[in-house]
Each structure stands twice: as structure tokens, then as C-alpha cells.
Structure 1
């Protein structure tokens, strides 16, 4: 399930919650851009006993973006074998995807800031979504968020 809409200061954000456990979530928020070559945003993960955040994930215009990866998963809603993965150029955000029988996609989100610095850390959470409409809706909401447009609110 995805939840587009406001964040703490009513800034645009997109949250994807695990269908199996709604206390597990990933939120994309605090988007900003210095120029047309990049988009910066924060990613927060939550699970019971865990809250983690990377403040400045960078998506470059010339790099393969997250929504392209997610679009490919949406197109293959009938399933695939093995694991598919994507990461930012800096590898501070990575996601891997697996398909589970019954039509569900498991997205494992890994945050890894300061990958080459002393004191580095990483954490991962997995969200399960229905391969059809939930994946499609999440991908659309995230595309709007990253483009700086208004993120439509889900009815209800």
C-alpha cells in the first residue's frame, strides 16, 4: 500500500507500507533540486525497533532512475525468476525485488550512507506489494514526487 501526501511540514512525500506488516515502511521526502541535472531527496525506513534515514540521496538525470526500474517490475506483473536490483550511483540507496507466488513483489530497501567512511552503517527493510495495482500506483506516485509535481492523494 502506498500513501502519497504530506510529510511532517506538509511537504510532498510518498510512503510505501508492507502489505504483510504495515509497521514496515519506506518514505521518500524532503525533495529539492539545485539544477536540472539532479534531484535530491531523503529516504526513511521504519520497522518495529528501527528508524533510519539518509538525508541526501541524489538522482542524476543521466543515470538510470528508480522509477524506470519499478516500471520494469510493473510491466512484469505476472512474475519473474530470481532477484532484480537497482542502486543509486553513490549506492546510498539500493532496492532488490523478488516475485512471490500469488502475485506479490518483495522490495528490499537498503540504506547505506557514507559507504567508504569510517563508522558507516546499512539497514534494510522489505515491503511486500501486490504486483499489479499497488506496484503501479506506488511507481506513479514516486514518479510525481521525484519530478517535483503534486503527488495525488489516494481516496479514502
Structure 2
């Protein structure tokens, strides 16, 4: 169990993030067209997983915008934005913002992605949502970088995440 804060108040996750050097757990997430996507669908590409509580909060929206901007210059890299939001909300946000360099994936059905990667919030007002996390993998799903942002209202360290690519 990890401890992060929300407005300075401690909240907890259901476990610890996967470690650098480990392989990312396979997943089944829902795309904007309601089809499923798994880790295998992205094999051969480096991945930046931008994981957050909800697209409809300021910091989450900023992280999607920032990674969208930076993704356009990354070679053989896909940015996956993952939350428990409904795919319709993710699609609405990116459409309204004109963001097309990121792939939105929803964990709304069971939250299994968050549970399996130790990043589901288990108490406090955001219980059941994902904590703010960045995971970067190589082309084979080997984890190169992880960051669990200690204060959920803060942005991730974009430079550190992109530096490993």
C-alpha cells in the first residue's frame, strides 16, 4: 500500500507500482469506440502511460494536453491516457481540445488495470479511482520508469518520463 495526498490529506492505494525492469502486466481496457485494447495491441512501440483520476479535473486535463504536445515529436512512442472515466467523456474532452496524439483508454468496467498495478485509491473522496501515475515502457513492455505523484493535485514530472525514451 502506498500513501499519497489529496489536498495535503493522506490517502492510500491498494498496493505498490510495478518496479523498473519488470514487465508491465497485460491489460484489457476500453477504447473510445467501445472496442477493447490490450498490451499486445501496442507491442513494438514504446509506451507512456499517463494514468489519472478523471479527465474532468484541471491537473488531469493538463497532463493529457502536455503529453499530447510532447507525443508528436517522439519516435515509435504511443501515449496512453488511462482513467476510470467513461470512453464518451474521454472522447468528448480530446475532441473539444483537438488532441490527437494520445490514445484514451478507460478502466471503467472493473478497475482491473488500477487494481493489478497497485494504483487504485482505496480511501478518501477519490476511492475507486486511479492515483496519478506515469509508467514508461520499452517496445516489449519492460518498465523503464515509474512515478506515482505524491500529491494528486500536482502534475507529473514530464521531463523525467520522457528522458528514458
Name the TM-score class by shorter chain.
under 0.3
Give the structure with the higher percent helix: 2
TM-score for both structures, normalised by structure 2: 0.25
Greater relative contact order (Cα 8 A, min sep 6): structure 1 or 2? 2
